[in-house]
Amino acid sequence: MADIFVTRKLDGSNKNLKCFQCKRRSLINSSHICYYCYGMNSLISNSGNINIDNFIKGTQSSKNRIRDPFLEWVPFKEFNGVKKIGQGGFSQIFKATWEISKGISYRGNVMRSKRKIALKVLNNSQNVDTEFLNELKLTFQFNTENIIECYGVTQDPQTKNYAFVLEYMPNGDLHHFIHKNFEEFSWNIKISYLNDIIGGIKDIHDKEIIHRDLHGGNILIKYFDKNAIISDLGFSRPANIDSNLSRKSQIYGIIPYMAPELFKGQTYSYASDIYSLGMIMWQLTSGHRPFQDQEHGPKLILDILDGKNQKLQKILQNFGLI
């Protein structure tokens, strides 16, 4: 027999009983558990890693508001039509279909809707480290329309690599999207994308975090004329990170998008993110990656440091970015 969630009163009193778990909601069952806590209790987190399980369970708090997002541990067998669509230096990307959560109903059920999702499978992640958890925490905390949404975590049963279950972007990344559609781009569309990207960077900086790896491949496109989404927070760090970290741990990225001071040993900053934004603006307006005619290596770094990108500097000055 299904649990019935109703308002219940103390014997001989007009005072409503509250859920004994959250102490907030009044629609409770005979065990005095509200519909929301009952639904959350039905979610099982069994990743095999205590740190992942603890973080996921922490997002499923009884203190959540009704519409607050939460993460799930998703057995890989729940995905249908898994197909590889891309890869990078640290991960492989797949698309699949899954029934994502739409919240908890007043009957205590997890409401679901079938939808395409993306799986970001991190290479060599069988043993979860702080880097994986850092990206998971950072991606989840941004509940905004300009940052990629994370639904949960899963594990590839063959490789044992862990993966993020992410919002699917049907139009891919900005670089490839521009290459295919640049002739159809109007200035209104370019400005719309730019507003979205700026909004996402502001959301990140408002939480005192530096992205540190902004480029055309990490900006995803949801619709043709709107919704440019910032993704890949794997290298992001708090702005107050120890500046004495080793150079090896500090320097990474795609050379044309990296601020010149980084090549001089200075640390990432809000300003270095803004420089990367300038390079993305270059790409949006020209249709090409910055320095597309040059090999991305030591010579390009030296040219940038020697000020041989004068055309670029003039553009950035006109936009007030340097």
Q: Which residues pair with 309 in a beta bridge?
A: none
Helix (H) or strand (E) holding 229: strand 228-230
φ/ψ bin of 320: left (φ > 0), alpha (ψ from -120 to 50), beta (otherwise): left
**Could you give the C-alpha distances from 164 to 91, 103, 126, 182, 232, in angstroms and in order?**
10, 19, 13, 31, 11
213 is catalytic: yes
Length of the chain: 322
Which tokens hold the place of 185?
């781009």
Alpha helix segments (H runs only) across the chain: 35-41, 50-59, 130-141, 174-181, 187-206, 247-250, 270-286, 298-305, 310-318
d(CA 192, CA 141): 24
Q: What is the DSSP letter of 159?
A: T
Q: Which of these is catalytic: 156, 173, 203, 213?
A: 213
d(CA 177, CA 173): 6
- The catalytic residues are 213
